[in-house]
Amino acid sequence: MSEALKIGVIGGNGWLGGAITQSILDAKLTSPKDLTLSYRSERPTRFQDSYWTRDNQELADRSDVIIVSVRPADWPSLGITVNGKLIISVMAGITLGQLAEQLKTERVVRSLPNAAAEVGKSYTPWVASTQVTDRDRSIVRRIFEACGSTDEVTSEADIDYLTGLSGSGPAFPALLADAMMKDAAEHGIPSEIAQRAVTAVLVGAGRLLERRKECPADTVETFVGYRGTTAAAIEAMRAGGFDAAVAAGLAAALKKSVRMGDYRRSGQRGPLLFYERPQRKRGNVS
């Protein structure tokens, strides 16, 4: 940034909030002293050169840009106003209108990073209100490019759908990996060998798709065309309902995403996504 930009992260000690904070610092988008982070209980030990507070209104007052990284069910209790500042929400299901109304600003962005932000490989779609400026958009792009790759989409319906498709991040490949490892175990393969094999398959596939930039369907059909062992596996998986299961899962995620905005009225807690997952080695949640 050409001038000092003061950024606040509400939920800065959560899994996602911490990942975004680290990405911002790594990319030098702002200095540690210009970062304000909030937490809920014990003061975190990481990001020592940044300002920590339990008062989210103090965070908002100290910041030019406020990133809201809490569970959708928890955000109404924040009780803050930002007086026209730029808000970037990473909460599933909470609409631009809801954010603008409660936080008292028209400069609002909805986004959905995923867990790969922790390693700089998140894909983050985002949508902006009409009052978001070109400079605001530049700030949003820089933040999410620091976390991986990003696209501005044209509607909130796109964000709701992508909540399941890309927002789930590593969960879907991890589900496939788990099934593959269980099958390997049933065939007597030692767990450490199965894990290395499966991890190599998924990591290699991701890098290959990224590098070649071809349609995944073309890759699949290339293997099918060889009529070998991979073709036999693909055809059996398809016959077993693989494509239908994926479509059903994405449909369920879309339905859940649309409903999550209603938690603010019902008082129910939304599902744990990537906001405040307890961290095994990094201290308390935010």
Q: Which of 162, 192, 208 is the last residue of a domain?
A: 162
Report how far residue 279's alpha carbon sits from residue 224's, in angstroms, rounded to the nearest whole number: 41
Whether pLDDT at 277 is above 90: no
Q: How many angstroms separate the CA atoms of 231 and 235, rounded?
A: 6
Residue 262: the pLDDT is: 66
User: Would you state the pLDDT for residue 3?
Assistant: 67
Terminus-to-terminus CA distance in the chain, angstroms?
27
Domain limit, last residue, from 144, 162, 180: 162
The CATH number of residue 251's host domain is 1.10.3730.10
In a shared domain, residues 137 and 187: no
Is 286 among the domain residues?
no
Query: For the chain, what is the domain count?
Result: 2
Are both 64 and 153 inside the same structural domain? yes
Domain range for residue 187? Answer: 171-260
Using CA atoms, how far apart are residues 64 and 55, in angstroms rounded to an integer? 16
Q: Is residue 145 part of a domain?
A: yes
211 falls within a domain: yes
Task: Quick: pLDDT tens for 33-66.
Answer: 999 999 988 899 999 999 999 999 999 999 999 9
Over residues 7-34, mean pLDDT: 95
Q: Place 170 in a pLDDT band, splitting at 50, 70 and 90.
A: confident
Q: Tell me which of 106, 135, 162 is where a domain ends.
A: 162
Say whether both 142 and 35 belong to one domain: yes
Position 274 in a domain: no
Q: Residue 74's pLDDT band (boundaries 50, 70, 90)? A: confident
Give the side-chain half-sphere CA count within 13 A for 82. 27
Is residue 28 classed exposed, middle or buried when 0-12, 13-18 and 19+ CB atoms within 10 A define those classes? exposed
151 in a structural domain = yes
Residue 2 lies in a domain: no
CATH of residue 109's domain is: 3.40.50.720
Average pLDDT, the chain: 89
